[in-house]
Chain A
Amino acid sequence: MQIYLPIAEISLDVFVLLGIGGLIGFLSGMFGVGGGFLMTPLLLFIGVPPAVAVATQANSIIATSVSGVLAHWARGNVDFKMGFVLLAGGFAGSTVGVALFSLLRGLGQIELVISLTYVATLGTVGGLMLLESSRTLLRRRRKVPSRKKLHQHHWVHGLPLKMRFRRSRLYISALLPIAIGFAVGVLSAIMGVGGGFVLVPAMIYLLGMPTAVVVGTSLFQIIFVAANVTFLQAAQNQTVDVVLAMTLLLGSVVGAQFGTRVGARLQGDSLRLLLALLVLGVGIKLLFDLFATPASIYVIGISG
C-alpha cells in the first residue's frame, strides 16, 4: 500500500516505513540510542531526499524516546537530575556545533566532514565498547573474580561543584556531565543525530553510571535534542515531513516497547557488546562507502 509524502514528494510503501520505524524503535528501547544514525541511511536507501530524511527522523525519534523514557521511568530508571545537567551542556554544545556547521559549509565539503565525523565517532565508540564488553564477558566466563573496585577515583573527582545524583548512585562534579553534554551537543549538531550512541558509552565509562539508568536518562535528553532539531529544520528549511514522521513513529513506538522489555532481560555486558557491534558495523559501512568506487561518478543535486 503506497502513501504519498507531501514534503518528500514521493510515494512509498506504508509497510516498509512501518518496518523501518519498528526496527529503529526496538533498538532505541533496548539500547537507549535514538537510532538517528541508522534511520537516516535507511531513509536515504528507500529514496527519501537527504534533507527531508535528516529532518524527519528527528521528529519521529521524539515519539520513540518519549515512549521509551516513560517505560524506563515506570521502572525507576531515569535520572532526571543528571538528564537536565547533561542538557545544559548539550544546548550550549549544539549552539556551538550549528555555528561550526555553517563555518564548514562556507568552506565547502561539509559532506566529507560529516562522513569523517561519523566514521571517527562510530569507529572509536564502537571499538572501545567492543573491547571492554568482550573482555568483561570473557572474564566472567573464566570465573576470574573482578578486581574492579566499586568506585574508581581519578583526578576528575577532585573537581569543584560536586553534586549528588541519587538515581545514578554518584557524587561527582557537575562539570563532568556538562562537559560530556557539550561535546555530544557539538557532535550531534554536525552529524544531525541525537547523539545517544556517544552519550550512552560516555555515561557508562566516563561517569560510571549503572547501565540500567543510562538508557532511560539518555532517551530523556534525546527528546529535547530531537525536538530542537525538528523545530529548527521546520522553521528554516521546511524539510520535516509529518506524514513520513507519523508513519515511522507508528512503527517505532511499538518497537520501543518491545525493545525495552528485551533490554531489561539482557545483562548490561551483553547489551553493551551488542550495541558495540551495531555501532561498529555502521561505522565500517560508512568507511567502506567513502573509499568504494561509486556506481556512477555523476550524481544529481538540487537546483544550482
Chain B
Amino acid sequence: MSPARPAPGLLLALLLLAAGLPGGARAQGLVADVSDHLIAITTGFAGTDILVFGALEEPGDVVVVVRGPTRPVKVYRKSPVLGVWLNSAALTFPQAPSFYAVVASAPLEEIADVAERRRLQLGLSQLDLRAQSPVSANLLAEWSGALVRARAANGLYKDTGGRVILLGDRLFRASITLPTNVPVGTYLVEAYVFEKGIAVAAQTIPLVVSKVGFEADIFNFAQRQGALYGIVAIVIALVAGWVAHLLFRRH
C-alpha cells in the first residue's frame, strides 16, 4: 500500500485495532460485523457464505467489499510461433488481491461516481492493478482486464454476486459466497455508507480463512518435512495396493 494513497477503510480498521476494540466495534455512522471471523477449511469444505450485517446512523447506500490477501500474479500471453501457441510474453502484478467480491444496495454506478469508486476500488473495473514493470496505460488496461476476466472465471473476482439488503433504512445485511478454491490468509471485509455519492462512513473487519485440523496438519507436514512426507506417501500407496490385491484374491 503506497503512502500516497491512503485506503480509509484499512486505516480505520488499524485505528480500531490499535485502540483494542474488537472487529465489530462502532465506527462513526456505521456499525457492522460478519457472522464468522474465522473461516475454517476442513476436509468437507465446499465453499461457504459469510453474512455481513450492521446498522446505519443516517439512511444511505451501503457497499460491502471482501478482499483477499494480495499476492503477486504472473499473467502470460500466448502467441502462435510456426503455428504452435507459446507463452511469449509475461507481466507480473505484484499486489493483486487473491479474492475480491463487492455487493451494494443499488448499482455501483448509481451510488458513486467513477472518481469515488476508483478511490475506494469498488467494482472489478476499478481495481487498482499495477504492473511490476512500467507499461503504457493501454497495455496495462489490456493485461489487467485479462487478469480480472481469468479470476472472474475462477469465481475469485466478482461484482455481480447478490446485493446488500436494507431493512427499514437503518439495518443492512449482505451475503457473500466464498468458493471452494478460496485462497487462505487474512481477508478484509469493508462496509461503506454513501450519501449523495460520497462515502461518509466506513468500517473494516478482518476475516481469517485458514485450514484447520487434519487439512492443516497434512499441509504443514508436507511443507516442513517433505522427504519424510514423501516416504510416508509411498508406504501408504504400497500398502493400499497390497490390501486391494488381498481383498480381491478372496473373491
B28 contacts chain A at the CB level, 8 A cutoff:
no
Is B222 a contact partner of A64 (Cβ separation < 8 A)?
no
Nearest-neighbour CB distance to chain B for A256, whole angstroms, equals 7
A7–B79 contact, CB under 8 A?
A: no
Q: Given A6-B218, A9-B184, A234-B222, decide whether A62 and B234 contact each other with a Cβ distance below 8 A.
A: yes
Residues of A within 8 A of B87 (CB): 111, 299
Of the stretches B102-110, B147-155, B191-199, the one at the interface is B147-155
> B43 contacts which of A4, A74, A223 (Cβ < 8 Å)?
A4
Whether a CB of chain B sits under 8 angstroms from the CB of A238 is yes
Which one of B2-10, B13-21, B162-170, B235-243 is at the interface? B235-243
Asked if residues B146 and A6 are in contact (CB atoms below 8 Å), the reply is: no
Q: Does A246 contact B (CB under 8 A)?
A: yes
Pick the 7 closest A-B CB pairs, nearest first. A66-B241, A234-B230, A253-B244, A11-B180, A298-B146, A304-B74, A304-B92
Inside 8 A of A67's CB, which chain B residues have their CB? 240-242, 244-245, 248
Chain A positions within 8 Å of B151 at CB level: 300
Chain A hits for B222, CB < 8 A: 6-7, 234, 238, 240, 242
Interface set of B (CB-CB < 8 Å, partner A)? 41-47, 71-79, 83-87, 90, 92, 94, 132, 143, 146-147, 149-151, 180-181, 183-184, 211, 214-216, 218-219, 222-223, 226-227, 229-234, 236-238, 240-245, 248-249
Nearest B-chain residue to A295, judged by Cβ = B153
Are B74's CB and A300's CB within 8 A?
yes
**Is A282 part of the contact surface with B, judged by Cβ < 8 Å?**
no
Q: Is A146 part of the binding interface, using a Cβ–Cβ cutoff of 8 Å?
A: no
Given A111-B87, A290-B84, A297-B78, the answer on whether A235 and B227 have CB atoms closer than 8 Å is yes
- Considering the complex, give the chain B residue whose CB is closest to the CB of A254: B244
A contact residues, range: 35 or more
With A4-B215, A6-B215 as contacts: A227 and B181 at CB distance below 8 Å: no
| Alpha-carbon distance A302/B218, docked complex (angstroms) | 22
CB pairs A–B below 8 angstroms (29 shown):
A2-B46, A4-B43, A4-B46, A6-B218, A7-B219, A11-B45, A11-B46, A11-B47, A11-B181, A60-B237, A63-B244, A65-B241, A70-B242, A234-B222, A238-B223, A240-B222, A240-B233, A245-B237, A249-B237, A249-B241, A294-B85, A296-B149, A296-B150, A298-B78, A299-B150, A301-B75, A301-B90, A303-B74, A304-B72
Whole-angstrom distance between the Cβ of A75 and the nearest chain B Cβ: 12
Q: Which residues of B contact A233 (CB under 8 A)?
A: 230
Main secondary structure of the interface of A (DSSP, over half): helix
Is the pair A62, B238 in contact by a Cβ cutoff of 8 Å?
yes
Is the CB of A236 closer than 8 A to any CB of chain B? yes
A59 lies within 8 A of chain B by Cβ: yes
Question: Nearest-CB distance from B232 to chain A (Å)?
Answer: 8
Q: B90, A257: Cβ atoms under 8 Å?
A: no
Q: How far is the CB of B28 from chain A (nearest CB, A)?
A: 38
In the complex, chain B residues whose CB is within 8 Å of the CB of A131? none
Q: Judging by beta carbons under 8 Å apart, are A59 and B237 in contact?
A: yes
Bound Cα distance from A5 to B230, whole angstroms: 16
A230 to B241, Cβ gap below 8 A? no
Cβ-defined contact, A70 with B245, below 8 A? yes
Contact in complex: A298, B226 (CB < 8 Å): no
A3 in contact (CB, < 8 A): yes
A293 touches B85 (CB 8 A): yes
Cα–Cα, bound, A234→B229 (Å)? 7
User: In the docked arrangement, what's the CA distance between A152 and B42, Å?
Assistant: 61
Instruction: Say whether A165 faces chain B, with CB atoms less than 8 Å apart.
Output: no
Interface mask (A212-247 → B, CB under 8 Å = 1, otherwise 0) = 000000000001000100111111101010110110
A291 within 8 A of B: yes
What's the Cα separation between A51 and B237 when bound, in Å? Answer: 19
Contacts of B238 in A (CB 8 A): 62-63, 66, 223, 227
Closest to B41 in A: A4
Apart from A230-B237, A242-B229, A298-B78, 11 more pairs, CB < 8 Å: A4-B215, A11-B46, A11-B180, A62-B241, A227-B234, A227-B238, A230-B230, A234-B222, A245-B233, A253-B241, A304-B72
A71 interfacial by beta-carbon distance below 8 Å: yes
B230 surroundings in chain A (CB, below 8 A): 230-235, 240
In the assembly, what is the distance between CA of A293 and CA of B78, in Å?
9
Q: Does A47 contact B (CB under 8 A)?
A: yes
Q: Which of B45, B47, B77, B244 has the most CB of A within 10 A?
A: B244
Taking CB atoms, residues of chain B closer than 8 Å to A300 are: 73-76, 147, 150-151
- Return A299 CB to nearest CB of chain B, in Å: 5
Asked whether any CB of chain B lies closer than 8 Å to the CB of A10, the reply is yes
How many Å from the CB of B177 to the closest CB on chain A? 13
Interface centre among A3, A232, A299 (most CB of B within 10 A): A299
- Contact status B216-A231, CB under 8 Å: no
